[in-house]
Amino acid sequence: MIKVTIWNEYQEERQYDHVAKVYPKGIHGALYDFLSKNEDMEVKCVTLDMEDQGLSEEILNDTDVLLWWGHQAHDLVSDEAAKRVQQHILNGMGFIPLHSAHYCKVLKEILGTSMCLRWKHDEKEKLICVNPSHPIAEGITEPIILEQEEMYGEYFDIPKPDEIIFLGWFSCGEVFRSGCTFTRGWGKIFYFQPGHEEYPIYYHPQIQKIITNAVRWAKPVNKRNNDYDNVEVKHE
Amino acid sequence: MIKVTIWNEYQEERQYDHVAKVYPKGIHGALYDFLSKNEDMEVKCVTLDMEDQGLSEEILNDTDVLLWWGHQAHDLVSDEAAKRVQQHILNGMGFIPLHSAHYCKVLKEILGTSMCLRWKHDEKEKLICVNPSHPIAEGITEPIILEQEEMYGEYFDIPKPDEIIFLGWFSCGEVFRSGCTFTRGWGKIFYFQPGHEEYPIYYHPQIQKIITNAVRWAKPVNKRNNDYDNVEVKHE
Amino acid sequence: MIKVTIWNEYQEERQYDHVAKVYPKGIHGALYDFLSKNEDMEVKCVTLDMEDQGLSEEILNDTDVLLWWGHQAHDLVSDEAAKRVQQHILNGMGFIPLHSAHYCKVLKEILGTSMCLRWKHDEKEKLICVNPSHPIAEGITEPIILEQEEMYGEYFDIPKPDEIIFLGWFSCGEVFRSGCTFTRGWGKIFYFQPGHEEYPIYYHPQIQKIITNAVRWAKPVNKRNNDYDNVEVKHE
Amino acid sequence: MIKVTIWNEYQEERQYDHVAKVYPKGIHGALYDFLSKNEDMEVKCVTLDMEDQGLSEEILNDTDVLLWWGHQAHDLVSDEAAKRVQQHILNGMGFIPLHSAHYCKVLKEILGTSMCLRWKHDEKEKLICVNPSHPIAEGITEPIILEQEEMYGEYFDIPKPDEIIFLGWFSCGEVFRSGCTFTRGWGKIFYFQPGHEEYPIYYHPQIQKIITNAVRWAKPVNKRNNDYDNVEVKHE
């Protein structure tokens, strides 16, 4: 059983009617609805307005894979909460930041680069697999057309990914490394670009399939239990 | 159910008493014994002296993951058989060449380099994981000591691996990239250095665990069914 | 001084008026004209119709970096010549296959995959750098617009590149890993997609800059002089 | 001309006689002596006890490649200074942390992992090249023997390196990824393990050759001058 936690800042869905219309249960609700159908997953949702911002040691200890959606409230996440998440990733927890979560505190801290990119609303995207043998691409053999998406374009200031699984083509003349994996410590990270709050991307069956695949891929293989420090090897 | 085929040249076990003593059922027999215990695997063995050298289209079509052990008979494998295996790997079949199979025709053809290395009998090896989040390292949290092993040393003339999972330390002052993954087309390859015919390496529980993990990792994610050629995209 | 050899099959420029009009001196001539201006390069051209197909041991021994343009005559290159080139790459010679040379015998043999892709004439390309710190990207800080180019699209069946330097965006809804590096043995390879025989791509100053950078990057760092085989390490 | 700055915490050389004996001019002095002989380099030294800890904007603006040696004083480097260095790396400055600098604030921040490793004094090391075509390996064709070195052993908690150039073998049964490259933003990083303060490693001609090669490799290819933020692409 994979213990999945979905974290959402959950602001725009409550502030803006046009967003609420697309995601009436919140973006976390849309993610919950399809992930919780999987018999190998036990899914819970947490949000920024909860105690400890939904990111207590207790919750993180009970999480195999953490999905993250954030946009306008990145700065409201406390440094302590971000640091806790970072440590749990290094200890083995999977982490799946979605779309505008490219700019969340956790990802910036753990990847170390600026995470800057170019963006533009309301463009057509074609998502193309360049890594057909990767588990996250299972069942995704044809390009995915997203008629309306927020364009994210290069140069995307990320460290060299372990694997680039999807490239995004945008009608306005931009490309993007839209699905990338990173390993940090014992933990696996999958950054996935599709999913603007104003468009119904997370209801798309193939997008759901990719996120589902990613959760299975990101579950911990081994867990780290030693403390963080250099270790002296003694003479025997 | 993963369909596993173990290919062995099966010569030294029949020619030399000291090898037969270590592997009385052949090396394929030793691999079969532990792999066939897994409920998610259906295992069969084939050898060089069988029809089509054990590598007919029929057999390969019925294989998800092919393990390969060869040493002195690399040149006896026909070019046609090697080419068939290469095509099946590109179409998605997993491939796990073991130890001296570094020098087999299939691996040389599909990786394109000379595959040369340095070697020496009868050295102590310590196998150390440098990729603890990789599925092939599941459950392997401590170094594996092999009191007697054939040393393989750098420079090992391989393409840059996708992932280096294990490094080998040898008492005579050599190191080796002992567990490496490669992706070619739709197929996954794991080269694993331990396993000389004169030493009982394949009875070691952790070595068995790694090979078992590798089979699960290498099973096809997607299968390719299109013919091999450039494809013209027509004007609509 | 970098010894550069430009190999061209040199057929279409002599067969078709519309190609001859674009490349009156042959594609090799266009490449020669800008490369030979560099004071650190000594450039010569060879073509398929020369003795030993322009690929004798003598010529290859005198080459630091080999550029390759081929299209319709891939099969006319002899297996022996292709094998010679492959060995020289493994020994340290740089290799720069351009555009339709993705499908040349040497590249297929040394990379081991099918090298298949999707293609379509007469599309607009935008070439975008995703690796600004790589020497091949020196001075290329803005996207390059090619109003007319042959589209090459994914899935491109190559091994995972060491580095992806450029992505290509095409107006018809395709993307491509347009500039990729590979290392094989002691040799460096840069595959670069722009450059169809019917379009004046090789006169574009930024395309010339990239190819010039690539030659400097691909020159041998160390040369291999040992014979190809496994080496036994003797007890001292 | 490459502008090289050598930063040293410069403490143990002034506190301990046995260290001062090995490095009477400081470790920075030993590095300066061989680097400043190169006609393409302009070298200066800075230390922790200088104004702005030797890491002012002015000094960093005048630096193409920054070498870093630190050990016991990592925590004394201010967060502001570490952040300045990180930004300069992302903008294109090369960075070469040596030996115990694996644990310096800058490297931890920019790589995002714990950087933990295993260590032990007074072991023999054999440094083995596994990447003979990399510019940092130029002229290093044989293993380097260091009779006395501080052992650093795996698991070394780093992100997957872009390139592993050297592996270290240690007599006590440990291996290490001793020479690794990383790219972050526009900047290149080379971490190099040899170089304990108690042993005369930095006087070894081949170690000097590697560090010299690394400086040339790490010099900026392009410089970033835009501000750090996401960029909106406007409708034209």
Least Cα separation, residue B226 to chain D (angstroms): 33
Res C227 pLDDT > 70: no
Question: pLDDT of A193-220, one tens digit each?
Answer: 999 999 999 999 999 999 999 999 999 9
Closest CA to C160 of B182, B190, B221: B182
- CB contact under 8 Å between B155 and D130, yes or no, is yes
Question: pLDDT of A58-109, one tens digit each?
Answer: 999 999 999 999 999 999 999 999 999 999 999 999 999 999 999 999 999 9
Res B236 pLDDT > 60: no
Helix (H) or strand (E) holding C176: strand C174-184
- CB contact under 8 Å between C177 and A130, yes or no, is yes
Least Cα separation, residue D126 to chain B (angstroms): 7
Of D133, D134, D185, which has the smallest distance from its Cβ to C187's Cβ?
D133
Of B132, B169, B174, which has the smallest distance from its Cβ to D173's Cβ?
B169
Report the mean per-residue pLDDT for chain A: 96
Q: Which residues of A touch C193 (CB under 8 A)?
A: none
Question: pLDDT of A136-195, one tens digit each?
Answer: 999 998 999 999 999 999 999 999 999 999 999 999 999 999 999 999 999 999 999 999
- CB contact under 8 Å between C137 and D222, yes or no, is yes
In a domain? residue C134: no
Question: pLDDT of C1-28, one tens digit each?
Answer: 999 999 999 999 999 999 999 999 999 9
Q: Which chains, if any, share at least 3 CB pairs under 8 A with chain C?
A: A, B, D
CB contacts < 8 A, A to B, total 48
- CB contact under 8 Å between B183 and A131, yes or no, is yes
Please report which confidence band the pLDDT of residue D232 belongs to, taking 50, 70 and 90 as the band edges. Answer: confident
- CB contact under 8 Å between A112 and D157, yes or no, is no
In a domain? residue A159: no
User: CA distances (Å), D12 to each of D191, D198, D204, in order?
Assistant: 21, 9, 20
Q: State which amino acid sits at residue B69.
A: W
Interface of A with D (CB under 8 A): 86, 90, 103, 109-114, 116-120, 151, 153, 157, 159-160, 162, 172, 174, 182-185, 228-235
Question: For residue B71, what pLDDT is reported?
Answer: 97
CA distance B57 to B84: 7
Contact B95, B179 (CB under 8 A): no
Please report which confidence band the pLDDT of residue D193 belongs to, taking 50, 70 and 90 as the band edges. Answer: very high
Instruction: Name the token pair of B108.
Output: 């040389």
CA distance A24 to A18: 10
Q: Could you tell me what percent of chain D has a pLDDT over 90? A: 94
Res B235 pLDDT > 70: no
Q: Mapping DSSP to helix (H, G, I), strand (E, B) and coil, where does residue B75 land?
A: helix
- CB contact under 8 Å between B90 and C120, yes or no, is no
Nearest C-alpha in D relative to C90: D133
Nearest C-alpha in A relative to B164: A162
Contact C80, C70 (CB under 8 A): no
Res D236 pLDDT > 60: no
In a domain? residue D157: no
> Scanning the structure block, which residue is given the tokens 């070691």?
B204
CB contacts < 8 A, B to D, total 44
Nearest C-alpha in A relative to C134: A160
Give backbone dihedrals phi and psi of D99, rounded to 5 degrees, phi first: 50, -115
CA distance C186 to B157: 9
Q: Which domain holds residue C89?
A: 2-112+179-218
Domain tally, chain A: 1
> Where does residue B56 rank: exposed (0-12), middle (13-18), buried (19+ CB within 10 A)?
middle
- CB contact under 8 Å between C139 and D224, yes or no, is no
> Where does residue A4 rank: exposed (0-12), middle (13-18), buried (19+ CB within 10 A)?
buried
> Is omega for the bond preceding C155 within 30 degrees of 0, making it cis?
yes
Nearest C-alpha in B relative to A220: B133
Question: pLDDT of C24-50, one tens digit each?
Answer: 999 999 999 999 999 999 999 999 999
D65 against A236, higher pLDDT = D65
Q: Which chains, if any, share at least 3 CB pairs under 8 A with chain A?
A: B, C, D
Quote the strand ranges of chain D, DSSP E: 2-8, 41-47, 65-69, 94-98, 118-129, 144-153, 163-170, 174-184, 187-192, 231-232
Q: Which residues of B touch D156 (CB under 8 A)?
A: 130
- CB contact under 8 Å between A118 and D86, yes or no, is no
Least Cα separation, residue D35 to chain A (angstroms): 29
Least Cα separation, residue D61 to chain C (angstroms): 18
Instruction: Name the token pair of A229.
Output: 């420090």
CA distance A141 to A65: 25
The residues, any chain, with a CB within 8 Å of residue C221's CB and separated by 6 or more, are C92, C186, D132, D133, D134, D135, D137, D138
Nearest C-alpha in B relative to C118: B231
CA distance D193 to D205: 16
Q: Could you tell me what percent of chain B has a pLDDT over 70? A: 97
CA distance D208 to D96: 13
Please report which confidence band the pLDDT of residue C230 belongs to, taking 50, 70 and 90 as the band edges. Answer: confident
Nearest C-alpha in A relative to B135: A221
Q: Which residues of D touch C131 (CB under 8 A)?
A: 183
CB contacts < 8 A, C to D, total 48
- CB contact under 8 Å between D118 and A157, yes or no, is no
In a domain? residue C40: yes
Nearest C-alpha in C relative to D90: C133
Least Cα separation, residue B143 to chain A (angstroms): 14
CA distance C94 to C85: 10
CB contacts < 8 A, B to C, total 86
Q: What's the maximum distance between 2 C-alpha atoms anywhere in chain B?
A: 68
Mutation pick from D110, D131, D133 vs chain C, by most beta carbons of C within 10 Å, is D133
Res C217 pLDDT > 90: yes
Question: For residue A150, what pLDDT is reported?
Answer: 95
Question: pLDDT of D55-104, one tens digit each?
Answer: 999 999 999 999 999 999 999 999 999 999 999 999 999 999 999 999 99
Question: For residue C235, what pLDDT is reported?
Answer: 58
3-state SS string for C177-215: EEEEEEEECCEEEEEECCCCCCCCHHHCHHHHHHHHHHH
Question: pLDDT of C66-107, one tens digit each?
Answer: 999 999 999 999 999 999 999 999 999 999 999 999 999 999
Question: For residue A48, what pLDDT is reported?
Answer: 98
Q: Which residues of A touch B138 (CB under 8 A)?
A: 221-222
In a domain? residue B47: yes
Question: pLDDT of B17-58, one tens digit each?
Answer: 999 999 999 999 999 999 999 999 999 999 999 999 999 999
> Scanning the structure block, which residue is given the tokens 């091999």?
B228
Res D153 pLDDT > 80: yes
Closest CA to A168 of A188, A195, A189, A135: A195
In a domain? residue A31: yes
Question: pLDDT of C118-167, one tens digit each?
Answer: 999 999 999 999 999 999 999 998 999 999 999 999 999 999 999 999 99
In this structure, of A225-234, B145-154, C50-59, the range with the lowest mean pLDDT score is: A225-234
Q: Which residues of D touch A162 (CB under 8 A)?
A: 160
Q: Which chains, if any, share at least 3 CB pairs under 8 A with chain B?
A: A, C, D
Q: Given the DSSP bridges, would you call strands A163-170 and D174-184 parallel, antiparallel or unpaired?
A: unpaired
Closest CA to C232 of B172, A133, A13: B172
Closest CA to C160 of D66, A134, D121: A134
Of B112, B232, B233, which has the smallest distance from its Cβ to C110's Cβ?
B112
Nearest C-alpha in D relative to C94: D133
Report the mean per-residue pLDDT for chain D: 96
- CB contact under 8 Å between D129 and B155, yes or no, is yes
Q: Which residues of C touch A155 (CB under 8 A)?
A: 128-130, 132
Q: Which residues of B touch A138 (CB under 8 A)?
A: 221-222
CATH of the domain at D196: 3.40.50.880
Res A15 pLDDT > 60: yes
Nearest C-alpha in B relative to A163: B162
Mutation pick from D124, D170, D175 vs chain B, by most beta carbons of B within 10 Å, is D175
Question: For residue D223, what pLDDT is reported?
Answer: 86
Question: For residue D233, what pLDDT is reported?
Answer: 85
In a domain? residue D141: no
Least Cα separation, residue A12 to chain B (angstroms): 35
Q: State which amino acid sits at residue C138.
A: E
Q: State which amino acid sits at residue B145.
A: I
Of D113, D229, D232, which has the smallest distance from its Cβ to A184's Cβ?
D113
- The verdict on pTM exceeding 0.95 is yes
Mutation pick from A113, A165, A175 vs chain C, by most beta carbons of C within 10 Å, is A175
Q: Which residues of C touch A130 (CB under 8 A)?
A: 154-156, 177
Torsion of CA B221, B226, B232, B236, to 10 degrees: -80
Closest CA to A6 of A86, A91, A63: A63
- CB contact under 8 Å between A175 and C156, yes or no, is no
Q: Which residues of A touch D112 (CB under 8 A)?
A: 86, 109-112, 184
Res D35 pLDDT > 80: yes
Q: Mapping DSSP to helix (H, G, I), strand (E, B) and coil, where does residue C222 land?
A: coil
- Mean pLDDT score, B198-211: 97
Contact B105, B126 (CB under 8 A): no
Question: For residue B226, what pLDDT is reported?
Answer: 64
Q: Could you tell me what percent of chain D has a pLDDT over 70? A: 97
Question: For residue D227, what pLDDT is reported?
Answer: 66
- CB contact under 8 Å between D113 and A119, yes or no, is no
In a domain? residue C159: no
CA distance C88 to C5: 13
